[in-house]
Amino acid sequence: MYRNTYDSDNTVFSPQGRLHQVEYALEAVKQGSAAVGLRSKTHAILLALKRSTGELASYQQKMYRIDDHVGIAIAGLTSDARVLSNFMRQQAMSSRMVFNRPIPVNRLVSSIADKAQVNTQEYGRRPYGVGFLVIGQDKTGPHLYEFAPSGNSYEYYAMSIGARSQSAKTYLEKHFESFADCTLEDLIRHGLHALRESLQQDKELTINNTSIGIAGPASVHEKDVPAGGSFRILEGEPVEVFLKSMVPKETAEAQAAEAPAAEAPPDGAAPAQAGDQDVSMAE
């Protein structure tokens, strides 16, 4: 109701106790094209849909390598993403230099979450306009984290961010229990299916607009992957074989129609409710 008076400054609470500038920053993340992340017992992967401004232009880079064992996919303002990913690289390098160990992924994500929180509390600053999906391997296994400009970060089994990501999330929620024991190829296939859900009508995943990031041992289709399975980004030709492994949409829909829908999450589920303050600013 009174949103307009309370939403121009970073430092103003609304009477309902909400920070509207931060919620608007979360909208900026939703403007970016979709990115999906999922993990199994052995691997964590990212899949992203790349946009291009036109036929003559190249496609926007959606993934960044942070360290041998950590990679991210972004959704939102690319320039903010570069600044934060640079910070992450510094933190990762610092851990290797001072302690001779690869940085534990949860600590890396907490460091950017804390950095982003500062920007939500001071006048003259604006919240970062980008969200990340961070994957990595450390001593405790593969991990997937979501980072949001509100300064909140959570660990997930599978997650998607960006435009029309709710449809991808629906797919992930349906299937996530089977991810743990998937092979890398199956995991990528699930990820591509989820990513496909976020496409607009008449669009499809091609080798030009899809990128896949993998942290973990090599798949049967990859060559020259170092033994430890460091984070790598697959784009262009190498993606073809995985795209071919997808189940065509018509068959998939027929299968879904046969199986009783276990739950039908409402579209655009969970709009910002006052009761959700402590777990997320807004969906």
Taking the least distance from each CB to another protein, the nearer of 107 and 249 is 107
Who's near 260: CB < 8 A, 6+ residues apart? none
Q: How far is the CB of 200 from another protein (least distance, A)?
A: 24
Taking the least distance from each CB to another protein, the nearer of 83 and 256 is 83
Q: How far is the CB of 172 from another protein (least distance, A)?
A: 6
Of 139, 201, 223, 258, the one binding another protein by CB under 8 A: 139
Q: How far apart are CA 271 and CA 283, in angstroms?
A: 6
Stretch binding another protein (CB under 8 A), from 27-35, 148-156, 226-234, 250-258: 148-156
The label of the residue with tokens 């660990």 reads 155
Residue 13 is a binding residue for another protein (CB under 8 A): yes
Q: How far is the CB of 10 from another protein (least distance, A)?
A: 7
Assign 247 to helix, strand or coil. coil
* Cross-strand partners of 144: 135
Structure tokens at 90: 């510094």
Q: How far is the CB of 102 from another protein (least distance, A)?
A: 10
- Phi and psi for 204 in degrees, rounded to 5? -145, 165
Taking the least distance from each CB to another protein, the nearer of 208 and 273 is 273
Residue 97 is a binding residue for another protein (CB under 8 A): yes
Query: Do the beta carbons of residue 147 and residue 116 sit within 8 Å?
Result: yes
Taking the least distance from each CB to another protein, the nearer of 50 and 169 is 169
Taking the least distance from each CB to another protein, the nearer of 158 and 187 is 158
How many residues are listed for the chain in this entry?
A: 283
Residue 106 Cα distances to 88, 145, 225, angstroms: 12, 8, 25
Residue 104 is a binding residue for another protein (CB under 8 A): yes
Q: How far is the CB of 198 from another protein (least distance, A)?
A: 16
Q: In angstroms, how far is CA 74 from the centroid of its own chain?
A: 6
Query: Do the beta carbons of residue 172 and residue 194 sit within 8 Å?
Result: yes
Who's near 101: CB < 8 A, 6+ residues apart? 95
Binding residues (CB under 8 A) for another protein: these are 2, 5-6, 9-19, 97-101, 104, 106-107, 110, 113-118, 120-125, 138-140, 150-152, 154-159, 169, 172-173, 176, 270, 274-281, 283
